[in-house]
Amino acid sequence: MKWKTHKKITLEVCRYFGLEAERIAEASITPDIAPDYALYGNTHRRKRRVKHHGDVLENAYNYLRLARYSYVNGSDYTRVLGRAVHYLQDYAVSSKRGFLFIKFSDDYLHDVKESEVANQPVPFDAISEADKTVCYPHEFISKASRIKPSGDPEVAMYNATYLTALAIKLVIDPDIPDDLDRLRVYRVTGYVFAFLPLLFILKSLFFIPISLVSSYLIYWMNPARNLKKDMDWLNGKID
Ligand SMILES: [Zn+2]
């Protein structure tokens, strides 16, 4: 995505939420200037540039978590928030090249598509739709992944704006489940229930595998797991 598009979307969304729009918009192009690197591969681990298109949501979420941490603790969150929205905006634009059986030169097509996206106005309804969407912190990646990268300039612009707004709301004013105060109750009952299948082992060692599996499943299904994530997010806790 072109720098002016990143800045344009970020400016509009930040103004809507009453944030330091200029600073965050400036930060929203930094992953193209100072890229992120990560280790890839199992046997031959190599350091490579983190992708900007395709599978980027996890990376964006990690930056959002850092932004939330800084926001709650009163330190500068604009730099990391800018990086997070950059990845979400790039994600919205499909990087697939070619149309039906016609293949353009990659760079040419990529440039045409990016110019078309740049010419789109920032859709206000995408911002207000995101503002109205209830999205708990633990749901962010799954909700964002339901939005697919698009080659259509209007759709790509809409989705990039929507994801930016959803992300910024998650940092400054996250939705929090009503039953957060029941976290302790869920946890205690969850542990008790998860412990019960293990009692079968006393009856016969034959039950070991099934007992362990059911115990783990019960632990895994406990709503406390997601509530704990939401609670940590609310308090700006990172581990
Ligand atoms: Zn990029």
167 in the same domain as 196: no
Same domain, yes or no: 120 and 202? no
Single out the residue of 177, 54, 12 nearest to residue 4, CA to CA. Answer: 12
Residue 57 lies in a domain: yes
Specify the number of domains making up the chain.
2
Mean pLDDT of 179-187: 82
Tell me if 239 is assigned to some domain.
no
| 11 and 119 co-located in one domain | yes
Amino acid at position 48, single letter: R
| Pair (223, 156) in one structural domain | no
- Using the mean position of ligand 1's atoms as its centre, give its distance from the Cα of residue 84 in Å: 11
- Report if residue 121 sits inside a domain: yes
Instruction: Write down the pTM of the prediction.
Output: 0.84
Q: How far is the CA of 54 from the centre of ligand 1 (A)?
A: 11
Higher pLDDT, 215 or 42: 215
Provide the domain limits for residue 111.
3-172
What's the rounded mean pLDDT across residues 53-78?
92
Q: Rounded to the nearest whole angstrom, what is the distance from the C-alpha of residue 160 to the centroid of ligand 1?
A: 12
Asked whether residue 207 is assigned to any structural domain, the reply reads yes
The pLDDT value recorded for residue 80 is: 96
> Does 53 reside within a domain?
yes
Residue 114 CA, ligand 1 centroid: distance in Å: 11
Residue 206 and residue 104 in one domain: no
Give residue 219 CA to ligand 1 midpoint distance, Å: 39
Q: Distance, CA 89 to ligand 1 centroid (Å)? A: 8
